[in-house]
Amino acid sequence: MGPLEEGYVREAFATNWVSTVGPNLEAFEKAFSELVGGLPCVALASGTAAIHLGLKLLGVGKDDEVICPTLTFAASANPIVYEGARPVFVDSERRSWNLDPERLAEAIEDRVKRGRKPKAVVVVHLYGQSADLDAIENVCTQHGIPILEDAAEALGTQYKDVQVGTRAPLSIFSFNGNKIITTSGGGMLVAHDPAWVAKARFWSQQSREPSIAYEHKELGYNYRMSNVLAGIGRGQLAVLPERVAARRAVAARYEAAFRDLPGLSLMPQAPWGLHTNWLSVFLVDSGATRDAILQALAAEDIEARPVWKPMHLQPVFADCPRYGGEVAEDLFTRGICLPSSSSLTIEDQQRVIDVVSRVVTSRSATRTPARQVTPGGETWASRGG
Ligand SMILES: *Cc1c(COP(=O)(O)O)cnc(C)c1O
């Protein structure tokens, strides 16, 4: 948080606009709209709320099916169930770790054959990397199925030089505390059709009819963002380019430090876009090594996490159909998210690098017959062979 954010929040306090109406909300939406090519948008309480209203706009309802990548955070899938519909999970491709267009085509064809044409496809841009939108759109257009882009992790991410979350008729973003910019908690729904944004705004404020009396013809939700938090968002938008550059610099430093280490590689950077590296995610040669790194980091009081656990492995979604899942499972088993904050200092990052290097080097050494043992008892992998 910086002085800009504080100024806008102070203004909300001073003018007493502390609820879900006010100048910060209007200004935040206006500034955000500029980021997404002038598309209309509405600021909401969370990215999850935005997905929920987006699915309602697409007419998702009871007993419908909605396709969703299995490798994602649970918030991509949960709102499907809020509407009484069922997620159908599809595997990732290796180039981007996002929805695999070929698997998607297979899944849609099979669902159609069973008389269950999916009502929508949720496309996630994971960890700041764009999915292959051209290929995915191609498949969906053939079948006349609309896409909702879950760009919660992808503000600043580009697909073919354009910000993601602008191609599909509906897209969402998140400003949760862990995302690239934050409002502490919040989300944004973006649509091509201004009438859809107006409808979402109406639903987000309890569907209160524009009359003096409290009249409600439709079910409503308390999903609107607060004017105080929109003030934080206004300030954060101004630093987005810096945050993207900082996240990419963190990933580049890890990549340079680990380049010569065996069995450790940065998440691929797909050729079609700009990866913000919202998180610096690495793939380790085995699940055992991944866990050893997590443990060694924890012992040094450094928090790191595995990659998202695929949805088809979640007990809450045990009954949902799925197409593939092997790629997602492999990425989950071997993937590790290292500390990636834009405020991470060079010194702190070096501590992470030292621990990871020590674990990876000693584990590969124990597997290589040719190794040197130093007097201190540390083992070093032989680089010569
Ligand atoms: C964070 C996240 C969401 C949900 O956003 P919230 O603002 O936390 O509700 C949805 N999808 C993905 C992929 C996310 O990472």
The per-residue pLDDT string of the chain (385 residues; one tens digit each, 9 = 90 and over) reads: 899 999 999 999 999 999 999 999 999 999 999 999 999 999 999 999 999 999 999 999 999 999 999 999 999 999 999 999 999 999 999 999 999 999 999 999 999 999 999 999 999 999 999 999 999 999 999 999 999 999 999 999 999 999 999 999 999 999 999 999 999 999 999 999 999 999 999 999 999 998 888 999 999 999 999 999 999 999 999 999 999 999 999 999 999 999 999 999 999 999 999 999 999 999 999 888 999 999 999 999 999 999 999 999 999 999 999 999 999 999 999 999 999 999 999 999 999 999 999 999 988 776 654 444 444 333 333 322 2
Nearest to 20 by CA among 210, 213, 204: 204
Distance CA 207, CA 51 (A): 17
44, 48, 172, 225: which to mutate for ligand 1, most atoms within 8 A of CB?
48
Nearest to 197 by CA among 219, 220, 170, 223: 170
Cβ contact 99:131 at 8 Å: yes
Ligand 1 site, residue 43, Cβ cutoff 6 A: no
Ligand 1 site, residue 98, Cβ cutoff 6 A: no
Q: How many residues does the chain have?
A: 385
Atom number of ligand 1 nearest to Cα 76: 11
Ligand 1 site, residue 183, Cβ cutoff 6 A: no
Helix H or strand E encompassing 323? strand 322-323
pLDDT at 379: 33
Ligand 1 site, residue 76, Cβ cutoff 6 A: yes
Distance between Cα 74 and ligand 1 center (Å)? 8
Distance CA 104, CA 99 (A): 7
pLDDT at 367: 63
Q: What dihedral angle (degrees, nearest 10) is formed by the CA atoms of 300, 178, 49, 64?
A: -60
Q: Which residues pair with 61 in a beta bridge?
A: none
Identify the residue whose C-alpha is closest to ligand 1 atom 2: 152
Atom number of ligand 1 nearest to Cα 150: 11
Catalytic residue ranges = 179
Identify the residue whose C-alpha is closest to ligand 1 atom 6: 47
State the helix-helix crossing angle for 3-15 and 23-35, rounded to 10 degrees: 140
pLDDT at 375: 40
Distance between Cα 44 and ligand 1 center (Å)? 12
Q: Which residues of 212-223 are buried (b: 16+ CB within 10 A; e: fewer)?
A: eeeeeeeeebeb
Distance CA 207, CA 198 (A): 11
User: Quick one: how far is CA 132 from the chain centroid?
Assistant: 15
Identify the residue whose C-alpha is closest to ligand 1 atom 10: 75
- Spell out the domains of the chain, with CATH numbers in brackets: 3-239 (3.40.640.10), 241-366 (3.90.1150.10)
Ligand 1 site, residue 75, Cβ cutoff 6 A: yes
Ligand 1 site, residue 46, Cβ cutoff 6 A: yes
Ligand 1 site, residue 101, Cβ cutoff 6 A: no
59 to 53, 54, 180, 322: CA distances (angstroms): 10, 9, 30, 22
